[in-house]
Amino acid sequence: MKAIRQKKLVLDNSMLEEEFFEDALLIGIVCPLPSYRFIWHINEAFNYPFERKHEFEVDVNKVQYEVYNYTEEEKLIDHMIYTNRKNTRFLLEEARHIDFIWMIKGGFLPQEYTKQLPEVLKQVNSVVHVFVLNPLQLKSKHLLIL
């Protein structure tokens, strides 16, 4: 009897990742503060009620990275701040110089807002550096998809 070979179907997630990040703005933030203090400063500076979401935490190699969330429901915009550094480990290994990643996704993001946000972030207490990230250059961006 001849064995029947079955083809394995492999799901290509790259298209899904590209689509997910199409309407997203990623901002890398260098700030030496612990996450809870950094979020407090962000909430004060922007008057946003970011909250830690335990159900969103990202677990990589038994290390849990905090995720803070705020949703502008009237604008259909989600704000997520990911802790990228836990002691000497990193959520995104290729972004070892970044302490936090702020992802803004959905709705309509006016160009003025996307240009002004990094500038305003630079004024926040203890923020050392801020820059816009290109998701295409991040190998492990899939870890940011919740």
Domain extents for the chain?
A: 25-144
Distance CA 82, CA 45 (A): 18
Closest CA to 86 of 130, 35, 20, 22: 35
Specify the DSSP class assigned to residue 112: H
Q: Are 82 and 67 in contact (CB under 8 A)?
A: yes
Q: So what's the pLDDT on residue 92?
A: 93
Q: Which two tokens stand for residue 33?
A: 């503060």
% residues pLDDT > 90 (the chain): 52
More confident residue, 36 or 17: 36
Q: Are 52 and 66 in contact (CB under 8 A)?
A: yes
The arrangement of secondary structure in 25-144, i.e. its CATH architecture, is: 2-Layer Sandwich (3.30)
Question: What is the rounded average pLDDT of the residues 126-139?
Answer: 91
